[in-house]
């Protein structure tokens, strides 16, 4: 498009070609310059022609080729989303992650100059959408809810499903739903010419698109695939010679060295979780004396850093990962892998100061957006990130990527129902995405903290779609609520196996959400209205008994959100590694006292949350949610080691649930939102526990060492976390394990009672395999229960008899 120096208003121009409507957008020259170099822009005509001729189009383009920022603009310029065009409906763009929805909306708005106000975003509880909105970025979950409300998606003229390669459950379900929505709109358009067909564009950064294109249940004829060749700038990939177990330490070494040796350019470091990010950030700040007045404590490099013994296949240390013939004169090729590298010296002689920023999903949004701001002059931007930064985000100025090659993933064992969060190797596709982050604003380098042998041998080509890795009763309920009785027939891009579908249906029958023949019941239909998992939705519907409703809502909102509590190991700094015969130095003694002080305070706070001395996780959470409502400030959260961002969201969710109850269920029409809660009475606490049990009646564990015929117990437990429990529905016992018992997770208040005080019955939310901490002598991973609450035998008996609540 020609550049126009004058800001223009919408200019409908009618002509005789097929593209009969267009909108001129004026962009700043510097924006225009960047745009014109993007491979996707070179394909604009082909893409738009395909969109005009087909209702479903797939676009494949490497990371950074311009898909997310440009394709919505192409549609806008062709009249989609303009009020007086033939296609006035909005352009919807979905993202699997909230931070991407927010930041991409901002970027596209900026690029579109005076049309920027036409770009908005909507994420859960937060949005900027208004009457002016033409392009709406949103999370896939938001659009999924909208489909449930209007199966024809009449508000939209086009939907772009972005990052389809990530294969989030929501994206997968959306693609399945939209294949039907497109058909429906085609039929509607035939009957009523004022209705236009819906355009569906699926965008992927990897070539694993055959699940969408060659899937006849999804699309009868394969949609056209358009390809935008090439990445914008080349990225040189360097493999490590050895793969280190302690990759955080290794990242520290490479970053330290890279900071000294590499020419200017930001670093983006991929780690697996908040914990590691905090740890590494602290190490860097200590070593490079960032923002420190007095000399910090000495930096320790653990000597126990044993490399995995792998022979490296000789690929050469650097593999050129670009398919571009880009020729860069100031190409630097610096090997950070010298064995004789020592951080002990010259730690404060770096060429620039470091500007270290964390980036992970639980970080407050305001903090997250800091990564997009320019780093202070004379500093090197160093971003320590989780997977959040793997796709979609462009962080200006990043030139070097450090990739640990791992990620923390939820795993779900379909036969046993045991979940785990395991750190494992990423896929080759993810590794290439991560490398791609270095080439977005200029040529870059990716330092992989693993060898090419490990990469070749242990990395799968693509990650498994999320739908195969989690319980799907929520998905099944949503589909049934949309009148899809036979969920097996739903056009899943990758169908879940029949066993998971069957067990989901069983659970839903159990919760009275569907009839024994698989039809949705009126209870089930009501349950599907709430943004809660089916178990929680079920609890909600009995939650008014004993005057408990505001508490039930607060509790369910709390249980649905991410973890409120900041774990102990992130609050209390780790003690230095010392040999037994070494004495503490004076400075270390001061540090140790400091540590003990934090520990005491942390423990006191945790204990105070355990209202009425109750040891139930659910009641502790309720207490936090209740106290926060009285003092909803960041300062309070900091003082109580809980997450402000999560608690604020819980507050919003409480309000939303209350509104939904009031507006959708006649019996609840008079319900008022009660933000400030007094502590519940002892009777209410009892009732709440029983309600929780009612939603998790198949998740009961019974203390094993108290029964008259205890199973083989090796030794008398001395700690609560060693007390063996057996699950009531022992599906996980089928496992070929030597240890059939499950144990309380250390994060539970129950973990701190004496073994004698451990309750006979507990209700749990899920089971988790936990690898033993590196420092402990135990080697076998244990299955741990995430307790929701203790419960009495009498209450369980009442539930079994079908009495919903005891008096
Ligand atoms: P894709 O979706 O294909 O991965 P994007 O459309 O997100 O690519 O980005 C294309 C290009 O636009 C980037 O390579 C970069 O040059 C530029 N860009 C995107 N977002 C920003 C931003 N926030 N700041 C500066 N440049 C950006
Ligand atoms: Mg993108």
Q: For residues 770 and 763, what is the distance between their CA atoms, to the nearest angstrom?
A: 19
pLDDT for residue 403 is more than 90: yes
CA 64–ligand 1 middle distance (angstroms) = 6
pLDDT of residue 19: 54
Least confident of 17-31, 639-653, 680-694: 17-31
Q: Which two tokens stand for residue 413?
A: 């064992």
Residue 437 CA from chain centroid, whole number: 19
CA 638–ligand 2 middle distance (angstroms) = 35
Average per-residue pLDDT in the chain? Answer: 83
User: Could you please report the per-residue DSSP string of 695-718?
Assistant: HTTT-EEEESTTSSS-----S--S
- Please name the helix (run of DSSP H) or strand (run of DSSP E) that holds residue 2, with its range, or none: none
| Mutation pick for ligand 1 pocket among 41, 69, 398 (CB with most ligand atoms within 8 Å) | 69
Strand stretches in 114-250, DSSP E: 119-123, 126-127, 135-139, 156-161, 199-204, 225-228, 235-239, 243-244
pTM across the whole model = 0.79
Residue whose CA is at the smallest distance from ligand 1 atom 21: 394
- pLDDT tens per residue, range 632-646: 999 999 999 999 999
pLDDT for residue 309 is more than 90: no
Ligand that comes closest to the CA of residue 165: 2
CA 68–ligand 2 middle distance (angstroms) = 4
* Segment 655-676 mean pLDDT: 91
Per-residue confidence band for 348, with pLDDT thresholds at 50, 70 and 90: very low
- pLDDT tens per residue, range 274-300: 889 998 998 998 888 665 333 333 333
pLDDT of residue 341: 41
Residues across the chain? 807
| Mutation pick for ligand 1 pocket among 394, 429, 433 (CB with most ligand atoms within 8 Å) | 394
| Mutation pick for ligand 1 pocket among 64, 230, 368, 391 (CB with most ligand atoms within 8 Å) | 64
* 3-state DSSP of 407-458: EEEEEECCCCCEEEEEEEECCHHHHHHHHHHHHCCCCEEEEECCCHHHHHHH
Interface confidence (ipTM) of the complex = 0.98
């Amino acid at each position: 498009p020609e550049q126009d120096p004058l800001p223009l208003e919408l200019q409908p121009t009618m002509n005789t070609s097929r593209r009969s409507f267009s909108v001129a957008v004026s962009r700043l020259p510097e924006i225009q310059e960047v745009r014109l170099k993007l491979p996707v822009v070179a394909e604009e005509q082909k893409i738009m022609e395909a969109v005009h001729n087909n209702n479903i189009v797939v676009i494949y383009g490497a990371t950074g080729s311009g898909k997310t920022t440009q394709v919505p603009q192409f549609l806008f310029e062709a009249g989609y989303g303009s009020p007086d065009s033939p296609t006035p409906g909005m352009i919807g763009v979905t993202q699997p992650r909230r931070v991407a929805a927010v930041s991409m909306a901002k970027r596209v708005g900026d690029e579109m100059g005076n049309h920027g106000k036409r770009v908005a975003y909507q994420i859960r509880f937060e949005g900027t959408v208004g009457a002016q909105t033409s392009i709406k970025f949103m999370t896939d979950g938001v659009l999924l809810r909208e489909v449930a409300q209007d199966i024809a998606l009449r508000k939209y003229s086009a939907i772009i499903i972005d990052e389809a390669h990530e294969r989030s459950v929501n994206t997968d379900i959306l693609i399945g739903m939209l294949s039907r929505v497109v058909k429906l709109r085609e039929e509607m358009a035939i009957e009523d010419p004022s209705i236009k067909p819906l355009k569906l564009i699926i965008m992927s950064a990897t070539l694993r698109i055959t699940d969408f294109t060659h899937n006849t249940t999804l699309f009868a004829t394969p949609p056209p695939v358009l390809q935008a060749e090439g990445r914008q700038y080349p990225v040189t990939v360097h493999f490590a010679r050895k793969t280190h177990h302690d990759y955080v330490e290794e990242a520290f070494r490479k970053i330290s060295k890279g900071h000294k040796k590499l020419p200017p350019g930001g670093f983006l470091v991929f780690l697996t979780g908040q914990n590691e990010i905090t740890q590494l950030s602290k190490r860097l700040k200590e070593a490079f004396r960032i923002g420190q007045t007095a000399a910090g404590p000495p930096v320790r490099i653990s000597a126990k850093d044993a490399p995995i013994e792998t022979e490296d296949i000789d690929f050469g240390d650097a593999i050129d990962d670009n398919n571009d013939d880009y020729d860069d004169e100031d190409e630097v090729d610096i090997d950070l892998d010298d064995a004789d590298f020592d951080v002990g010296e010259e730690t404060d002689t770096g060429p620039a100061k470091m500007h270290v920023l964390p980036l992970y999903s639980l970080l407050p949004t305001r903090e997250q957006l800091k990564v997009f701001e320019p780093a202070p002059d004379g500093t090197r931007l160093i971003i320590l990130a989780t997977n959040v930064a793997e796709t979609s985000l462009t962080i200006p100025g990043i030139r070097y990527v450090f990739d640990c090659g791992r990620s923390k993933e939820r795993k779900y064992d379909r036969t046993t129902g045991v979940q785990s969060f395991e750190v494992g190797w990423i896929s080759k596709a993810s590794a290439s995405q991560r490398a791609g982050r270095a080439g977005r604003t200029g040529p870059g380098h990716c330092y992989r903290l693993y060898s090419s042998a490990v990469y070749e041998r242990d990395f799968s080509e693509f990650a498994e779609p999320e739908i195969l890795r989690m319980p799907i009763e929520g998905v099944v309920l949503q589909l049934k609520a949309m009148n899809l009785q036979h969920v097996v027939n739903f056009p899943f891009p990758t169908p879940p196996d029949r066993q998971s579908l069957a067990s989901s249906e069983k659970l839903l029958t159990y919760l009275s959400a569907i009839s024994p023949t698989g039809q949705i019941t009126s209870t089930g239909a009501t349950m599907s209205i709430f943004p809660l998992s089916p178990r929680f939705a079920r609890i909600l519907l009995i939650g008014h008994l004993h005057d408990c409703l505001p508490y039930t809502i607060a509790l369910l909102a709390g249980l649905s959100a991410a973890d409120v509590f900041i774990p102990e190991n992130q609050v209390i700094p780790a003690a230095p590694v010392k040999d037994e015969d070494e004495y503490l130095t004076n400075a270390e003694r001061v540090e140790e006292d400091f540590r003990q002080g934090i520990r005491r305070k942390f423990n006191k706070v945790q204990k105070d949350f355990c209202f009425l001395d109750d040891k139930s996780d659910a009641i502790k959470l309720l207490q936090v949610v209740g106290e926060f409502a009285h003092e909803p400030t960041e300062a309070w959260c900091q003082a109580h080691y809980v997450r402000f961002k999560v608690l604020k969201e819980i507050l919003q969710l409480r309000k939303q649930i209350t509104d939904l109850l009031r507006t959708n269920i006649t019996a609840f029409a008079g319900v008022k939102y009660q933000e400030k809660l007094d502590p519940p009475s002892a009777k209410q606490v009892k009732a709440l526990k029983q309600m929780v049990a009612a939603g998790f009646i198949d998740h009961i564990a019974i203390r094993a060492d108290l029964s008259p015929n205890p199973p083989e117990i090796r030794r008398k437990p001395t700690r609560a976390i060693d007390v063996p429990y057996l699950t009531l529905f022992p599906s996980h016992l089928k496992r070929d394990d030597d240890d059939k018992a499950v144990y309380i997770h250390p994060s539970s208040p129950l973990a701190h009672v004496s073994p004698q005080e451990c309750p006979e019955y507990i209700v749990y939310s899920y089971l988790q395999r936990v690898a033993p901490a590196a420092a402990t002598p135990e080697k076998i991973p244990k299955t741990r229960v995430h307790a929701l609450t203790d419960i009495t035998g009498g209450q369980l008996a009442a539930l079994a008899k079908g009495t919903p609540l005891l008096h």
